[in-house]
């Protein structure tokens, strides 16, 4: 038999339902704002691995800004975070040494005869600053531009090296190329 609910408990149920819906609504709204911020403005990234030493070392926290990538304004010499071409769940942090159309040096600096190649359309050539201990485009070739997630613009941790990141120490970037934008 259905027992009639007394007005007080109906009222309490309506209040709880109203608060729950309000809570869910706010969660969805702030979750979406957070998604937009991380996707279009920037995100914090913890780096690991030795491939970008001495510019970025293990356990550094950097700020990866996304706007340059969406506006296609990544430039030669920028440090970028990109999806690994061999595992889309993993990210790699390297420096852009060549944009599409650029000439890049594929061998080691100590080679007698330097081999060069041109970066194909829609791709970039990435190299770590720590050339001896970095697996990058010298191993797997240029990667598509769209795998880039963003440009690292600021180092946040550790506090003694807070600030913007320095230029490439490796002198592998071939400047003065005639490129149209």
Partner 1 sequence: MKAGRRYLRAFVSGFLVAVPVTVTALDRLAYVARVEGASMQPFFNPEGGSECDVVLLDRWSVRNYQVQRGDIVSVVSPKNPKQKIIKRVIGLEGDFIRTLSYKNRYVRVPDGHFWLEGDHHGHSLDSNSFGPVSVGLLHGRASHIIWPPNRWQRISPSLPPHRGPLETEEEEDG
Output the six-digit token pair for 106: 């594929």
Segments of 57-162 assigned E as strands: 61-65, 79-84, 87-98, 103-105, 116-118, 123-127, 143-144, 148-157
Token duo for residue 83: 């999806």
Contact window for partner 1 (CB under 8 A) among 31-39, 46-54, 111-119, 127-135:
31-39
Q: Is 7 in the site for partner 1 (CB under 8 A)?
A: no
Structure tokens at 28: 């969805």
Site residues (CB under 8 A) for partner 1, limited to 141-160? 143-147
d(CA 117, CA 135): 18
Does the annotation mark 51 as catalytic? yes
**137 has catalytic annotation:** no
**Tokens, residue 143:** 């990667």
Binding mask 36-65 for partner 1 (x = CB under 8 A): x--xx-------------------------
Q: Which residues bind partner 1 (CB under 8 A)?
A: 28-29, 31-33, 35-36, 39-40, 72, 83-89, 120-123, 143-147
Residues labelled catalytic: 51, 94
């Amino acid at each position: 038999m259905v027992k009639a609910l007394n007005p007080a408990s109906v009222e309490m149920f309506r209040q709880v339902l109203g608060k729950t819906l309000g809570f869910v609504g706010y969660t969805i709204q702030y979750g979406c704002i957070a998604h937009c911020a991380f996707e279009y403005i920037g995100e914090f990234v913890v780096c690991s691995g030795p491939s970008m030493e001495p510019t970025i070392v293990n356990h550094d926290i950097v700020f990866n800004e996304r706007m340059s990538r969406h506006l296609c304004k990544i430039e030669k010499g920028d440090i970028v975070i990109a999806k690994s071409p061999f595992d889309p769940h993993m990210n790699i942090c390297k420096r852009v040494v060549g944009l599409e159309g650029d000439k890049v040096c594929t061998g080691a600096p100590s080679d007698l005869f330097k081999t060069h190649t041109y970066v194909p359309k829609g791709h970039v050539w990435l190299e770590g600053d720590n050339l001896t201990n970095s697996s990058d485009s010298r191993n797997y070739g240029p990667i598509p531009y769209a795998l880039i997630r963003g440009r690292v613009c600021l180092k946040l941790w550790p506090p003694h090296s807070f600030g913007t990141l320095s230029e490439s120490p490796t002198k592998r970037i071939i400047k003065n190329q005639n490129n149209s934008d």
